[in-house]
Chains A and B, each alone.
Chain A
Amino acid sequence: MASSSSNLISLKTSDGTVFKVERALAKTMKTVQAIIEEADANIYMIPIHNVFSHHMDMIIDYYKLSVAGKSKEFSVEKLDNDELKDFLLAVHYLNMEDLFEVLTQAVADRLEKKSVGYVRKYFGIENDFTPEEYAAIRKKNDWAFKGDDIEPEEDEEKQEE
């Protein structure tokens, strides 16, 4: 491994930590790559907002696993919902395709087959339908069934954990 600094890029996360990463890893982050390409000389340190050091740790883990061909072993199960969301946003900001796919699938897996109430709680979304609109849409979902069975009426307050 060459000792020249041109093989390692310094990335400074929002909480001030500096990570030295290989150029190949920096290349998977399209946002960082764009900054490098725009700079004429070797840039000293690239600040990346919206990304924290624990995100960077996980990104480096994923990179190491994928280089070794074991990207399936990367798991985000230990993250709780909020942390997963933050991580997703960080990766989206850095524009890393593969890891982004993995994370959107992970979020989708957590949301799969959950009720309306659960999904609202998960994202912290407020119900902006009036009761009449809500009932109208509920009823209108009967006007077109798309080949699937019509959903059984479910209690929207039921929380599924």
Chain B
Amino acid sequence: MSFSSEKKNHHSQNPNPNPTSPLKKRGTRWSDLWLKHTTKSKPLNQMVVAAAMQQLQSLSSPRKSNNNNVNTLIPNFSIIDQTLLLSDELLLKILSKLPDSQRNSNSLVCKRWLNLQGRLVRSIRILDWNFVLSGRLIHRFPNLNHVDLIPGCLILTQSSNIFLSSNVLNMHIDSGSSPNWFFCEENMLPVEVIDNGLSALANACPNLRRVQVIGASEMGLLSVAEECPTLQELELQKCSDNVLRGIAACGNLQILKLVGNVDGFYGSVVSDIGLTILAQGCKRLVKLELCGCEGSFDGIKAIGKCCQMLEELTLSDHRMDDGWLAGVSYCENLKTLRLTSCKKIDLNPGLEEYLGSCPALERLHLQKCQLRDKKSVSALFSVCRAAREIIIQDCWGLDNGLFGFATVCRRVKLLYVEGCSLLTTEGLESVIHSWKELQSLRVVSCKHIKDSEISPSLATLFTTLKELKWRPDTKSLLPSSLRGISMGKKGGKFFKRT
């Protein structure tokens, strides 16, 4: 087909086209041109189709009556490209029903299929930044909703044998890396390049819903905000207060993850200034996750007061100033408060009467936190006293005394305790007895909770529960499928010390 040869020439003549020119002609996308061409020639195709089908039919019906003479003619017709009979929409419908694993092989069938398959792709992870800058990304995949740019922003080193990972970021480094622990900063593309890529992407994909990027500046963010009004989910790594100035334009943003500081990778500061700008700009936020961010009571209070729809707040490895916990009570619609990997909660939360509490809170989730401090834990439970579900996983320092502060939460229906090695049955019991509405209890892998110490009253309470999962002596390192065959115990007898 003539159009496909035009495309071929384009490829061979411009391996690295000027990044601005294909993007300025925003109205004519390659996919639009393709469609126009096929729809124009559709009547012609249909005529050809009708003629071809008549011939096919006249050949195939003799097949049914076993006419051997005609069989020699059939092979000629079998090489007609029958998908020309199918319009683009028909073929797209069929392609969309095929599994994702077949995507790569479908794109290799022919150029038209490459184009169509590309139109079905909605989500992509970029590994090569040139792919974005040169416009080839938009050419191949015009209908993107979700783009993860983070791997593309990091420069792959030549001999990347060492894989460095944290819970938010993974990258390869080589053994010649500098001794100060800021690996990411050295291996990242310059800010201008990242911004250019972001604006190229935004110009070409106005339907973007979800973007993840690292090291952008407010200019890049502004271009995304302006061109993509449907942007709902954003992850900004190496974020700072300045970058957040660009966020105010994303009016429809609902899910936001800001990563300021990751030990060993990079350090940037998100403080109250940034949080306040964020609060005033994105009033529709529903979920907010702050990793390694600084700030204090003022920032959290601003978010609480401005983002009325905020339902989920997650703080990961926070570096907030003491006293921030009281700000959480300003989040009137907050349903879930989650703290993960926090080295401290709030060493000086202030007086009990000024703490307040979150009226709509339903879930408190603590994971891998250090809970050693009395004031922090009591303030935390006090702010979350309306919680219905309390989940504590792998937290250090939670002993009976600290857990006792949880009696202030009167409405708890579900308690899930895992990996809290200082807690004993007695401590657990004294808290549970005060919770009249408890319906569901899960205790996993808490080594000081012993079955032998269950008192009769606790046992009676267990019978009233709707759900009980009692496995305190389980070693959680062993996957549950192996637990049943008690491998650890049986193997021991084969390896005796001699």
The answer to whether residues A92 and B128 also contact, given A128-B111, A146-B100 and a CB cut-off of 8 A, is no
A residues within 8 A CB of B105?
Answer: 114-116, 119, 151, 154
| B123 close to A111 (CB less than 8 A) | no
B4 within 8 A of A: yes
> Which of A17-25, A58-66, A137-145 is near enough to bind chain B?
A137-145
B44 within 8 A of A: no
A residues within 8 A CB of B53?
Answer: 50, 86, 89
B residues within 8 A CB of A14?
Answer: 54, 57
Please measure, in the bound complex, the distance between the C-alpha atom of A134 and the C-alpha atom of B85, giving whole angstroms.
Answer: 25
Whole-angstrom distance between the Cβ of A15 and the nearest chain B Cβ: 7
The residue on A at minimum CB distance from B54 is A14
A82 within 8 A of B: yes
Residue of B98, B101, B109 touching A120 (CB-CB under 8 A): B109
A107 within 8 A of B: yes
| A134 close to B81 (CB less than 8 A) | no
The prevalent SS among residues of A at the interface is: loop
The answer to whether residues A144 and B127 also contact, given A104-B93, A124-B82 and a CB cut-off of 8 A, is yes
B104 within 8 A of A: yes
Contacts of A116-133 to chain B: CB distance below 8 A: 116, 119-120, 123-130, 133
Please measure, in the bound complex, the distance between the C-alpha atom of A141 and the C-alpha atom of B110, giving whole angstroms.
Answer: 15
The residue on A at minimum CB distance from B98 is A108
The answer to whether residues A133 and B11 also contact, given A52-B57, A144-B126, A146-B123 and a CB cut-off of 8 A, is yes
User: Which of B8, B54, B57, B82 has the largest count of A CB atoms less than 10 A from its CB?
Assistant: B82
| B127 close to A123 (CB less than 8 A) | no
B residues within 8 A CB of A129?
Answer: 108, 110-111
The residue on A at minimum CB distance from B74 is A82
Whole-angstrom distance between the Cβ of A126 and the nearest chain B Cβ: 6
Q: How many A-B residue pairs have CB under 8 A?
A: 117
| A156 close to B83 (CB less than 8 A) | no
Whole-angstrom distance between the Cβ of B439 and the nearest chain A Cβ: 37
The answer to whether residues A146 and B124 also contact, given A49-B50, A50-B50, A115-B105 and a CB cut-off of 8 A, is yes
Contacts of A40-77 to chain B: CB distance below 8 A: 49-50, 52
A161 within 8 A of B: no
A residues within 8 A CB of B50?
Answer: 49-50
B230 within 8 A of A: no
A148 within 8 A of B: yes
B residues within 8 A CB of A115?
Answer: 105
B78 within 8 A of A: yes
Please measure, in the bound complex, the distance between the C-alpha atom of A53 and the C-alpha atom of B118, giving whole angstroms.
Answer: 38
| B97 close to A104 (CB less than 8 A) | yes
Residue of A105, A127, A146, A148 touching B110 (CB-CB under 8 A): A127
Please measure, in the bound complex, the distance between the C-alpha atom of A111 and the C-alpha atom of B96, giving whole angstroms.
Answer: 12
B161 within 8 A of A: no
B79 within 8 A of A: yes
The residue on B at minimum CB distance from A85 is B82
| B97 close to A108 (CB less than 8 A) | yes
Indicate the size class of the contact surface on chain B.
Answer: 35 or more
Residue of B98, B99, B124 touching A144 (CB-CB under 8 A): B124
B residues within 8 A CB of A116?
Answer: 105-106, 108-109
Whole-angstrom distance between the Cβ of B133 and the nearest chain A Cβ: 13
B86 within 8 A of A: yes
| B121 close to A146 (CB less than 8 A) | yes
Residue of A85, A113, A124 touching B99 (CB-CB under 8 A): A113
A residues within 8 A CB of B465?
Answer: none
The answer to whether residues A128 and B4 also contact, given A120-B110, A148-B101 and a CB cut-off of 8 A, is yes
The answer to whether residues A124 and B81 also contact, given A147-B125, A151-B105 and a CB cut-off of 8 A, is yes
The residue on B at minimum CB distance from A81 is B82
Contacts of B55-113 to chain A: CB distance below 8 A: 56-57, 60, 78-83, 85-86, 90, 93-95, 97-111, 113
Whole-angstrom distance between the Cβ of B78 and the nearest chain A Cβ: 6
Please measure, in the bound complex, the distance between the C-alpha atom of A37 and the C-alpha atom of B323, giving whole angstroms.
Answer: 74
The residue on A at minimum CB distance from B124 is A144
B470 within 8 A of A: no
| A143 close to B128 (CB less than 8 A) | yes
B34 within 8 A of A: no
| B127 close to A119 (CB less than 8 A) | no
| A85 close to B104 (CB less than 8 A) | no
Q: List 30 A-B contacts (CB under 8 A).
A: A14-B57, A82-B56, A82-B82, A86-B53, A86-B56, A104-B93, A105-B97, A107-B94, A108-B97, A112-B99, A113-B99, A116-B105, A116-B106, A119-B106, A124-B82, A126-B110, A133-B8, A133-B11, A138-B108, A141-B107, A143-B126, A144-B124, A144-B126, A146-B121, A146-B123, A146-B124, A146-B125, A149-B101, A151-B104, A154-B105
Chain A residues with a Cβ under 8 A of chain B: 14-15, 49-50, 52, 82, 85-86, 88-89, 92, 104-105, 107-108, 111-116, 119-120, 123-130, 133-134, 137-138, 141-149, 151, 154, 156
Q: A50-B49, A143-B126, A146-B121 are in contact. List 12 more A-B contacts (CB 8 A).
A: A15-B57, A113-B102, A116-B108, A119-B109, A124-B80, A128-B4, A129-B108, A138-B108, A146-B125, A147-B125, A148-B103, A151-B101
